[in-house]
Amino acid sequence: MITGAGRGLGQAIARRLHRDGYHLVLGDIDGPRARATVAELGARHTAVEADITHRSAADELAAAAMERHGRLDVWVNNAGVMPLGWLHGQAPDVLTYTCEVNLGGVVRGSLAAIEHMRSQGSGHIINIASITAVKPLAGFAVYGATKAAVVSFSQSLRRELHHDSIHVTAVLPYMITTPMTPGIEPRLLRPLGTSPVADAVARAISKRRATIYLPRTARFLTWTALLPQRVQDVTDDILRMDDVASAAGTPARAHYDDELNAHAARSTTT
């Protein structure tokens, strides 16, 4: 089961796990995109139109897996959105929607997965977080906060479930080139393609690691939190870290922002 599988990283994960022989249920708020991915990959897979901000959507995804395949071995909580810009300039409904998708969706998906994994005595939940969980950035306040919460949630849940033979992995990638990242100005490291992250998810299933940083060198960003605050601030100023999100509201992100605003508005009225 993969959420947000209609495009971007979710689609790349679907393609990778398809090559490994998995039978997939692909969930996405955009049903046509999910169905197009299934049409590409083959009839052994299933597409489900699902808005993960609703608990019923997670239950429907789990039910589809059980009905089609009889068990649920892996659940990838990938669905996410990324608003950019200073907090005071962002629409309240977009901020609420971001929390509901990025954190609420992970919680709902995990609850639905656990219900079936416990009864079968095994399973693996993989939560896609972000390096912004450990390296906060201006312009990513709510996005980074949700991803930090996903990491903490994953670590706690792993301890809760290890006696049930259900493993939990948090994946913290650096910036990935997807429809949500146009205009972002990376620092220090090169942006990732979706394929290396999808490969890491596939490896995580077999190796059962608790936390994965991508690339591995990105882990050094966790160490910066140990520096005195003044040193952190001076370093961020030198590297112009506050400019990473400077493209917020520019034409480069117009299409993505329009989609995000529409989904957020729809979510607040349902």
User: What is the three-state SS of 171-208?
Assistant: EEECCECCCCCCCCCCCCCCCECHHHHHHHHHHHHHHC
Q: Of residues 22, 143, 174, 213, which has the active-site annotation?
A: 143
| Omega before residue 32 within 30° of 0, cis | no
Structure tokens, 176: 């990935």
Report yes or no: 93 and 268 within 8 Å, Cβ to Cβ: yes
CA atoms of 26 and 4, how far apart (whole Å): 8
Active site residue 174: no
Question: Which residue do the tokens 């979510």 mark?
Answer: 267
Strand bridging mode 166-173 / 123-128: parallel
Q: Running DSSP on this structure, what letter comes out for residue 20?
A: T
Q: Which residues are catalytically annotated?
A: 143
